[in-house]
Amino acid sequence: MSAYQDMIAVDSFPMYVLFIDLDPTQIDVNVHPTKQEIKFEDEKIVYAFVQAAVKHALAQFSITPTLDFDLDSSIQQLESIQKPFTEDKKIETASSSIFKTFTEANQAHKIEPGGFRHWSDLGQKPEDGSQRPEAGGPDSEFQSLGRFLLKHEEEKVEQLITHESPFTTEARGLTQLFNTYILLPAAESFLLVHQQLAHERIIYERLVNALQGKPVATQRSLFPSTIELAPADAVLLNELLPDLHQMGYTIEPFGKAAFVIQGTPADIQAGNEKNILEKVLEQYKHFSNELKLSKREMLLRTVAWQQAIKAGISLTEKEMQNLISDLFQCRQPNSSPTGKPVYLEFKKDQLEKMFGR
């Protein structure tokens, strides 16, 4: 569930089959009277490997659909394409570790026998300053590699699933349906993108970056608004002020339950600051009732929802192009912050089967 986090809705559960090949001396089968449970010698390391395998599988086997666009003819003229792929080059490529990793059949995360190495071989030191484990000691190479994996697998897999924009040229042929969906044609398929969920994903990732040290630009109000809140809402807003400030909101306390809104994020239309803040608080309380999330995560989802283009809003061609381009620059473009699908893909062969062709 940790590996699938935010890829599926909170009330959904993935189907899975795990096959773990482990030294039988590292498990205890006598911890349950009816053998319904076993105990691992080091469950944290097993957890690290299982989580890494799931993340690797999600990336390697493309849980996020890829887009197939017509090939740009200029690519054919590149030197790397024009060079002949000689037999020597084929042998050199096939013998590389990268090629073998990506062609290993049906393996989500394979460790070659004898492939465990010490921290010194991996070029890393334990962050806690402890000494590297001695060979054959109680803190074995398996544990060392497990800790290394736990620290670095997230970064490595994120590189695999990071989506560069698939558009080599400006997206064309976009059509808006029901003022809610954007029809995006590709070479052998088309996508149906939900504009609000797509915009929520874009804003959410921008806000995450803001909380990590890249504050959102703020536009100062010519005429600051004052808002009076109920005592409970005033306490809540005071707690959220530091994070809201990094998200582009400039709000200052003005008495016991009053606040002055000095500025809002630069891409929000001015003149409706009080209503915006009230909706943020209302949606935040909704999330807190429905979901067991951290306060910061609830605020991220709340602000993304509040700022997103809603269903039913007509978009220009340029607005649709910008939305699609920004979406596919996101780290996780296929799902909204709440785990809903941002788009559905319809392949040409699927459509032909539907029409009996």
pTM of the model: 0.60
Q: Which long-range contacts (CB under 8 A, 24 or more apart) does 199-202 make?
A: 199/307, 199/308, 199/309, 199/323, 200/304, 200/305, 200/308, 200/336, 200/337, 200/338, 201/304, 201/327, 201/330, 201/332, 201/333, 201/335, 201/336, 201/337, 201/342, 202/323, 202/326, 202/327, 202/330
pLDDT tens digits in sequence order for the chain, 357 residues long: 777 776 777 677 888 888 888 888 889 888 888 888 889 888 888 888 888 788 777 766 555 544 444 455 555 555 655 667 777 777 877 777 656 655 555 455 555 554 444 444 444 445 555 554 444 444 454 555 555 555 554 454 444 444 444 433 355 679 999 999 999 988 888 999 999 999 999 999 999 998 888 778 888 888 888 999 999 999 999 999 999 999 999 999 998 899 999 998 887 877 788 888 998 999 898 887 766 778 888 899 999 999 999 999 999 999 999 999 999 999 889 899 988 899 998 989 999 999 998
Q: How many CB atoms lie within 10 A of CB 245?
A: 17
Name the residue among 328, 279, 319, 285 with its Cα closest to residue 303.
Answer: 279
Please check whether residue 253 is in contact with residue 239, taking contact to mean a CB–CB distance below 8 angstroms.
no
Output the CA–CA distances (angstroms, integers) from residue 80 to 70, 149, 157, 182, in the order listed: 19, 34, 27, 36
Residue 119 is predicted with a pLDDT of 40
The DSSP bridge partners found for residue 220 are 263
Domain residue limits, the chain: 24-161, 176-327
Q: How far is CA 296 from the centre of its chain?
A: 16
For residue 289, the model assigns a pLDDT of: 73
Q: Is 305 buried (19+), middle (13-18) or exposed (0-12) by CB count in 10 A?
A: buried
For residues 212 and 207, give the distance between their C-alpha atoms in angstroms, rounded to a whole number.
Answer: 9
Pairing of strands 218-228, 175-177: unpaired
The CATH superfamily label for domain 176-327 reads: MutL, C-terminal domain, regulatory subdomain (3.30.1370.100)
Phi (first) and psi of residue 65, to 5 degrees:
-60, 145
Return the closest-CA partner of residue 189 out of 87, 70, 103: 70
43 burial via Cβ count (<10 Å: 0-12, 13-18, 19+): exposed
- Which residues does 347 contact at the CB level (< 8 Å), separation at least 6? 188, 189
